[in-house]
Amino acid sequence: MARISAIFWDIGGVLLSNAWDREQRERALAHFNLPVADFEERHQMVVSSFERGLITLDEYLERTLFSHPQGFTPEAFREFMFSLSQPHPEVLSIARQLAGSRRYLMASINNESRDLNQYRIQTFRLREIFTLFVSSCFVGLRKPEEAIYNLALSLTQREPAESCFIDDRPLNLESAARLGMRTIEMKGAAQLRRDMEKLGVEI
């Protein structure tokens, strides 16, 4: 079995709470007392462009919420969106330990819109952990498309068998595994440590 030399991480649902998934959207809509159905229909129509970096957060909000007057400002909604991002301290601690060991190349493979991705990178000091961010908003590709994993491997010059990918969603892991990457489904910090140890990753 090839030795793991690169660890690729999802961010939302692994290191941090999700940025703008169903749970976060529902919390925001409830906070601002907004109907779900119309927003979700509009969201589904533009989310691919939003996460690929083809439209800005302002454009996303204009198309989903502010095509007609609201009783709050786009700035207030943006602020609430950002406030929903919370850390998973135990998992962040593991990632920081691995980054500090310098034994492994550390990079992300994640689906996030540009404004939220950059806010989360800065707020939670993710530049201290990762040398590369293969974020959908930067590369125009999204998981579970195999192209985003191939790009990450090409950019880092790693073979699939020496790479580990951590995500909380089975479909995203299946795409990575088809390419030959080792995978870990994130369920908790203790389980993550055990599964890494099984792959020979030293924490």
Structural domains in the chain? 6-17+87-198 (3.40.50.1000), 22-83 (1.10.150.240)
Q: Contact, 50 vs 142, CB < 8 A?
A: no
Per-residue pLDDT of 55-109, as tens digits, reads 999 999 999 999 999 999 999 999 999 999 999 999 999 999 999 999 999 999 9
100-to-29, 94, 124, 160, 194 alpha-carbon distances in Å: 40, 10, 16, 23, 19
Residues 6+ apart with CB under 8 A from 45: 63
Paired sense of beta strands 132-135 and 6-9, if any: unpaired
How many C-beta atoms surround the C-beta of residue 108 within 10 A? 24
- pTM, rounded to two decimals: 0.96
pLDDT in tens, 15-48: 999 999 999 999 999 999 999 999 999 999 999 9
Q: What is the pLDDT of residues 142-193, one digit of tens each?
A: 999 999 999 999 999 999 999 999 999 999 999 999 999 999 999 999 999 9
